Amino acid sequence: MPRYIVQRKFPDGLVIPTDDEGAKATRNTVAGNAEHGVTWVQSYVSTDKSESYCVYDGPSPEAIRLAAEDTGLPVDGITEVSVLDPYFYH
C-alpha cells in the first residue's frame, strides 16, 4: 500500500481536546478513513498548531482526499513517500 504525507493548514489552530470529546473525534476520523481504505498512521503538528504533517497509508491520493472531505479535514498537499532508514547503511 502506498504511503503519503498529507499537509494540512489550520488558520485558527488545530485543537483536539484530551478528553472523551477528543477521543471521539479521532475515532470518527479513523472510521471515516477506513470507508475509503485509508489508514492514519500518525501526525506531526507545528508548535503553533497552524499546520500538520500526517502520515497515511492508502490506495491513492484521491482516496485520501475523499476521506478528508468526509471527515471535514483540510488537505493542502499530498506527497507519496518511501522510507529512508539511516540504519540501512550500517
CATH code for position 24: 3.30.70.3090
Number of domains in the chain: 1
| Residue 53: strand pairing partners | 7, 44
Q: CA-to-CA distance for 37 and 39, rounded, in angstroms?
A: 7
Residue 38: per-residue pLDDT:
98
Tens-level pLDDT at each residue, the chain (90 residues): 999 999 999 999 999 989 999 999 999 999 999 999 999 999 999 999 999 999 999 999 999 999 999 999 999 999 999 988 888 776
**What's the predicted TM-score (pTM) here?**
0.89
Residue 90: per-residue pLDDT:
66
Question: 48 is in which domain, residue-wise?
Answer: 3-89
Other Cβ atoms within 10 Å of 43 Cβ, number: 15
